[in-house]
Amino acid sequence: MKVTVKVPATSANLGPGFDCLGLALPIYNMITIEETVLPGTGIEINLMSENEVIDEMIFDNVPKDENSIIYKAVEMLYNSIGQEPSELKINVQSQIPITRGLGSSASVVVGGLLAANKLLGSPADTTALLSIATEVEGHPDNVAPAILGGFILASQEDDGSIITEKLNWPEEWDITVCIPDFELSTNIARSVLPENVPMADASFNSKHLAMLIQAVNTKNEKLMKAALHDKLHQPYREKLIPGMKEIMEAFKHEDGVIGCVLSGAGPSILVISHKYDLDKIKSTVRDIWEGQSIKTDIRTLKIEPNGAEIIEE
């Protein structure tokens, strides 16, 4: 028996929502798990990319054995019901660019869990799958929208439980995803963050996160434009991402551009707009990055309302 799961890309944080906000995007990874019949074959993991050669090069450094995060997630699920993984063949067909802040690792964790859960007869419900995925990933901001779809507020509580709430992103707000051709690992992006932040910065983010939630609920563009600012992660990561400051400055006072934010840990950038010339967004970003010899893939996308889904058994 084999199971294939289709999992969307995700973008986390959206400025002030550090580690608690995420949305699903219509770029997908396909994860297939098959139980092999030959005993002793162990775990086989195959990674295939539809993206450029740079992703193939990164794949060379991705573990393809028991050290893989997809295997660790599957193993945790099996262990939760008192079993060990049998001989498994895992195929990952990747459309989500790797190490670009678009939830590629969350997608394979979620896809592996849902496929393995189906193979086992679905012993785990969504709550349990969210918990395991969060334990593997470290926080729920990417795995929650990957599983549930849409725009998600998520929190891991002190007791380990996961609280999620789906918010209604305004359909008329466009999201232009700007993906540069250089990678930035989450570990490096995390390493530049301070262990402690000033109380004033924490207060700033709390206020702006509250503003963001209200702006989304009321479709208030003016409030959203004010809300999309952050002092907990973007200022520290800016030095790792050439052109980020220039791109954000270019749209700062443009009517119709609601705001620019780093996608997850970066280096991809989201430009949120309404009734604005999308070609102008693309040309502005492209000009800035090409001026620094950076190629870019730019796509205007709607939020993916559905999360991961089983498409083949």
pLDDT in tens, 248-267: 999 999 999 999 999 999 99
- The owner of tokens 């050439």 is 242
In the chain, which residues fall in CATH 3.30.70.890? 174-301
Q: Is 310 helix (H, G, I), strand (E, B) or coil?
A: strand
Tell me the pLDDT tens digit for each residue of 258-305.
999 999 999 999 999 999 999 999 999 999 999 999 999 999 999 999
Which CATH number is 174-301 given? 3.30.70.890
Domain with CATH 3.30.230.10 in the chain: 2-168+303-312
* Cα-only R_g, the chain: 19
Q: What is the mean pLDDT of residues 76-104?
A: 90
pLDDT at 50: 64
Strand-pair partners of 12: 22
Residues 161-203: pLDDT tens digits?
A: 999 999 999 999 999 999 999 989 889 999 999 999 999 999 9
The per-residue pLDDT for 38 is 63
How much is the pLDDT for 256?
A: 95
d(CA 294, CA 181): 6
pTM of the model as a whole? 0.91
Residues 6+ apart with CB under 8 A from 212: 14, 15, 16, 17, 21, 224, 227, 228
In CATH terms, the fold of domain 2-168+303-312 is Ribosomal Protein S5; domain 2 (3.30.230)
